[in-house]
Structure 1
Amino acid sequence: MTVVTPGPSTKPPPADKADPRNPIHNVFWRRHRDEVEEDLTRLRSEPLTFFPGFQFVDELSGIKTPGAWVVPRHAPILEVSRKPQIYSSARGVTINDFPPEFNEYFNSIIAMDDPRHARLRRLVSAGFTPRMLARLEDSVQDQARLIVDEVCERGECDFVTDVAARLPLRIVCDLMGIPASHHDFVFDQSNIILGAADEEYVPEFGDLITAILTAGESLSQLMDDVAESKVGVESEDLTSLLVNAEVDGERLTRAELASFFILLVVAGNETTRNAISWGLVYLTDNPGQRSIWAEDFEGVAHSAVEEIVRIASPVTYMRRTALCDTELEGVKIDEGDQVVMHYLCANRDETVFDDPLTFDVLRDPNSHVGYGGPGPHYCLGAHLARREIKVMFRELFTRIGDIEATGEPELLSSAFIHGIKHLPAQFTP
Structure 2
Amino acid sequence: MPSHVETRLSSLDFWAKPQRERDELFAALRAVDGPVFCPLPDAPGFYALTRYEQVAEVSRKPEIFSSRPSAVSLVDPPPQTAAYRGSMISMDDPRHARLRRIVARSFTPRLVERVTGDIAALARRIVDDLAGRGPCDFVEHVATPMPLQIICSMMGIPDSEYDDVITATNVVLTVGAPDHTAHDEDRATLTAEKFAYLHALMADLGRLRREKPADDLVTALTNANVDGEALDDLDLARLFSLLVIAGNETTRNALSHALLLLTEHPAQRDLLITNLDGRLPGAVEEIVRYASPVTWMRRTVSRDYELQGHVYRLGERVILYYNSANRDENVFKDPNTFDITRSPNSHVGFGSPGPHFCLGAHLARREITVLLRELFTRFPKLHATEAPVQQRTSLINGITYLPCEF
Alpha carbons of 1:293 and 1:420: their partners in 2 closer, same or farther (altered >3 Å)?
same
Corresponding letter in the other structure for 2:396: I
2:77 aligned with 1:90, yes or no?
A: no
**Residues 1:191 and 2:191 are matched in the alignment:** no
How far off its partner does 1:31 sit?
Answer: 1.0
Match of residue 70 from structure 1: 48
Q: Tell me, yes or no, if the aligned pair for 2:106 and 2:224 is still in contact at 8 Å.
A: no
2 CA distance for matches of 1:197 and 1:325?
26
Match of 2:291 among 305, 312, 332: 312
**Secondary structure of 1:34's partner?**
helix
**38, 43, 51: which is aligned to 1:51?**
38
Q: Of 357, 371, 390, which residue of structure 1 is paired with 2:369?
A: 390
Greater shift in the superposed pair: 260-269 or 101-110? 101-110
Q: Percent identity?
A: 46
Output the amino acid matched with 2:263: T
Q: Report the equivalent of 1:363.
A: 342
The answer on 1:115 being equivalent to 2:94 is yes
Cα deviation code 1:342-374 (max 9, x no counterpart) = 000110001111101111111110000001111
The 2-side partners of 1:248 and 1:146 are apart by 41
Equivalent of 1:417, from 377, 380, 396?
396
Tell whether 2:310 aligns with 1:326.
no
1:39 aligns with 2:40: no
Any idea what the Cα deviations from partners look like across 1:255-290, whole Å, max 9, x if unmatched? 110000000010110000001111111100111111
Q: Is the 8 A contact 1:316 1:416 kept in 2?
A: yes
C-alpha contact 1:128 1:381 (8 A) present in aligned 2: no
Task: Give CA-to-partner distance per residue, 1:12-63, whole Å, 9 cap, x none.
Answer: xxxxxx97962243222111222111111111111320111134xxxxxxxx
The one-letter amino acid paired with 1:73 is R
Alignment of 1:342-361 (within 5 A): 342-361=321-340
CA separation in 2, counterparts of 1:102 and 1:412? 22
Task: Give the Cα separation in 2 of the matches to 1:358 and 1:245.
Answer: 45
Alpha-carbon offset, residue 244 of structure 1:
2.3
For residues 59-96 of structure 1, the C-alpha deviation after alignment (integer angstroms, 9 at most, x for no partner) is xxxxxx42111110101111001111110012211212
C-alpha RMSD over aligned residues: 1.7
> Matched residues in 2 for 1:206 and 1:406: separation?
39
Partner SS state of residue 315, structure 1: coil
- Within 5 A, what are the aligned runs for 1:260-299? 260-299=239-278
The alpha carbon displacement at 1:186 in A equals 0.6
Alignment partner, residue 180 of structure 2:
none
| Cα separation, partners in 2 of 1:361 and 1:23, compared to 1, 3 Å | same
Query: What is the alpha-carbon distance in structure 1 between the residues aligned to residue 83 and residue 218 of structure 2?
Result: 19
Q: Which amino acid aligns with 1:78?
A: A
Task: Quote the offset at 1:394 in angstroms.
Answer: 0.7
| 1:206 shift after superposition | 8.9
User: 3-state DSSP class of the match of 1:105?
Assistant: coil
Deviations 1:225-280 (A, max 9, x none): 11111114332210011112322221101011000000001011000000111111
The question of whether the paired residues in 2 share the 8 Å contact of 1:164 and 1:274 is answered with: yes
- Once the two structures are TM-superposed, the CA of residue 188 in structure 1 deviates from its matched residue by 1.1
Structure 1 CA distance for aligned equivalents of residues 371 and 344 of structure 2: 24
The structural deviation recorded for 1:209 is 1.0
Distance in 1 separating the partners of 2:7 and 2:14: 6
Deviation at 1:159, TM superposition (A): 0.7
In the alignment, the residues of structure 2 paired with residue 208 and residue 258 of structure 1 have an alpha-carbon distance, to the nearest angstrom, of 21
Aligned to 1:208: 187
SS of corresponding position for 1:414 = coil
Structure 1 residue runs without a partner (length 5+): 1-17, 56-64, 199-204
| Contact 2:15–2:392 (8 Å) recurs in 1 | yes
Specify the SS of the correspondent of 1:372: coil
Cα distance between partner residues in 1 of 2:53 and 2:260: 28
Letter in 2 for 1:414: T
Cα 1:113–1:196, aligned 2, differ >3 Å: closer, same or farther?
Answer: closer
TM-score (norm 2): 0.94
In the alignment, is the contact (CA less than 8 A) between 2:300 and 2:316 conserved in 1? yes
- The count of corresponding residues between Structure 1 and Structure 2 is 395
**Which segment is superposed worse, 378-387 or 328-337?**
328-337
1:172 corresponds to which letter in structure 2? Answer: I
CA distance in 1, matches of 2:95, 2:148: 28
Shift of 1:101: 3.8
Aligned to 2:181: none
Return the alpha-carbon distance in structure 2 between the equivalents of residues 24 and 278 of structure 1.
Answer: 23
Partner of 1:81: 59
SS class of match (1:310): helix
Q: Distance in 1 between matches of 2:108 and 2:24?
A: 41
Between the aligned partners of 1:79 and 1:20, the Cα distance in structure 2 is 22
Moved over 6 A (4+): none
Q: Which residue does the alignment assign to 1:245?
A: 224
1:26 maps to a residue whose letter is L
Residue 386 of structure 1 aligns to a residue in which SS?
helix
Distance (whole Å) between structure 1 residues aligned to residue 129 and residue 84 of structure 2: 34
Q: C-alpha separation between the residues in 2 aligned to 1:389 and 1:152?
A: 19
What is the SS of the residue equivalent to 2:133?
Answer: coil
Seen in structure 2, the aligned counterparts of structure 1 residues 212 and 391 have a Cα distance that, compared at 3 Å, is: same
